[in-house]
Amino acid sequence: MKPAVRLLILFLFLLQGEVVLCQKVNAEIFIPIDNRNEIWLKPKIDTIENKHDYEFRIRVSPEFKISQFLFEKGLAVQNDSTLIITPNSTNYGGFDTAILRVIVKSLSGSRTLLFQKQFIIRVPPRMFPVISNPKVNMVKLNDHVFIERNKPYPKDLFTKTQPWVAMYDNQVTMNKMEVQGVTIALYEKEGKNYISKGDTISSEAIKEIKKIKDPTPLFIKVDAISGKSKKSVWNRIIIYND
């Protein structure tokens, strides 16, 4: 057998052995970052808070460079030798896990090493956003439909049955106020008010609303009391024939 052929066979044999060896090593393809000379990550913490930023110093041996970060359930951003991770788990009110994976390549490009570090994420209960500018003195018809300024409403809401009106202090606390009077004024009947001394719309106002055929402005005034505080709220709405 020619020497060149023997060398080729030997090379193929060694290559096959390396592939088999790699397959055995790569049974768990990612290597834990802890206690490795090729890469280190500081500080050495394992438990992190959800949606908080954590800054780490990350280094690799001089013959390697970091190629890519992969962070489950969150974001990982590198700036030179600083790594910032931000967990974003939806496992509200409990604990979760997330793995940071780092792909490292040799400067020559001949080797690729895959590292990982697992974190435990502490996730607080779901928090609902605080309303910064809540609506106040909210008027509700039949405790079902909010009456908002300049919005259109079908006249059936006011005419099918004798509707009653409720008012709440604000959008956050939703404390119900005691309605003491409801006034209806139609734009087309200037100076004519239909007044009720309770929390219902008067029968006379309902009769006038039934006559509406085209979209018509209507003014509704609600007088209410909460403790010692008295409130009078005017709303202008549009009534249309559905």
CATH architecture of 30-123: Sandwich (2.60)
Tell me the mean pLDDT in the region 116-145: 86
Q: Which fold has domain 136-240?
A: Immunoglobulin-like (2.60.40)
Domain boundaries, the chain: 30-123, 136-240
pLDDT digits (tens, 9 = 90+) for 191-216: 688 999 999 999 999 999 999 889 99
Element (H, E) at 97: strand 94-106
Confidence category of residue 8, pLDDT binned at 50, 70, 90: very low
How confident is the prediction for the chain on average, in pLDDT? 84
The Cα 106–Cα 118 span in angstroms is: 24
Chain position carrying tokens 């709405």? 237
Of the candidates 220, 148, 140, 212, the one whose C-alpha atom is nearest the C-alpha of residue 176 is 140
pLDDT digits (tens, 9 = 90+) for 68-126: 888 988 899 888 889 999 999 988 888 999 999 999 998 888 889 999 999 999 999 88
Confidence category of residue 19, pLDDT binned at 50, 70, 90: very low
Query: Fold match between 30-123 and 136-240?
Result: yes
